Amino acid sequence: MNKKRLSWFEPGKSFQYISEWLEKAKNKIRIATVFFTIKGWNLIRRYTKGKQTFLLVGLDEPGEQRARMALIQEIMRDLRTGLDKDRRKAVIDLVEKMQSRQF
């Protein structure tokens, strides 16, 4: 058995592996996910500073307008109900990234 085999199932390991790869990115970060939350963005946003970030969010009904509305609704829900302390900073960071065309 390979003792160096990576495990994603230990507590904190997934984020450790993902953050290492995000940190290595020089100019662009591409993320494909089924879920998008401000809490998740808050975890990775420091790794996206100065890097163009592309986010593909899976939806049942595709379409740019529908995807945009789903993201806005998710962001608004997280602002209303989220418990993480930096959620407002995360939203501001996300909006600034979008306005500067880095997202």
* Encoded amino acid at 17, one letter: Y
Q: How confident is the model at residue 1 (pLDDT cuts 50, 70, 90)?
A: very low
**Which amino acid makes up residue 77?**
R
What length does the chain have? 103
Instruction: Render pLDDT for 28-61 as a digit per residue (tens, 0 to 9).
Output: 999 998 878 888 899 999 999 999 999 887 766 6
pTM of the model: 0.60
Write down the pLDDT at residue 78.
82
| Alpha carbons 25 and 15: distance in angstroms, whole number | 15
Residue 17 CA to residue 15 CA, distance in Å, equals 6
Q: Which of 75, 97, 99 is nearest to 87 (CA)?
A: 75
